[in-house]
Amino acid sequence: MSIGAGIVLIVIGAILAFAVNVDVEFLNLDLIGYILMGAGVVVVIIGIALLARRRTATSVTRTSADPTGRERVTERSVSADDDPRI
């Protein structure tokens, strides 16, 4: 969703910077367009970085069936690619 929002910001900024020829006394629409395009690029980069992160979950199983009272601990690390539920 953040990539789409970034693209929308880039498009609106480009329209303001390059296509609108309105002279507003107290606003510089070209500058606002460039700022929106820059913000859109930042949002797209953040969105791609968040998508590239891999989720990792650790499953811990504890059993105390040993007569000496010791626990056997088993840890299994599962990434999003290895998880069959996803």
Report residue 86's pLDDT band, with 50, 70 and 90 as the boundaries.
very low
pLDDT cut 70: percent of the chain above it:
62
CA distance 64 to 66: 5
Within a domain: residue 37?
Answer: yes
- 74 touches 61 (CB < 8 A): yes
Q: Provide the strand spans (E) within the chain.
A: 56-63, 72-79
Within a domain: residue 29?
Answer: yes
CA distance 67 to 71: 10
Number of domains in the chain: 1
What's the rounded mean pLDDT across residues 24-48?
94
Within a domain: residue 52?
Answer: yes
Q: Is the pLDDT of residue 2 over 50?
A: yes
Within a domain: residue 36?
Answer: yes
- Domain membership of residue 37 as a residue range: 1-78
Within a domain: residue 86?
Answer: no
Per-residue model confidence (pLDDT) at position 13: 96
Within a domain: residue 60?
Answer: yes
CA distance 56 to 81: 10
CA 53 to chain centre: 8
Within a domain: residue 84?
Answer: no
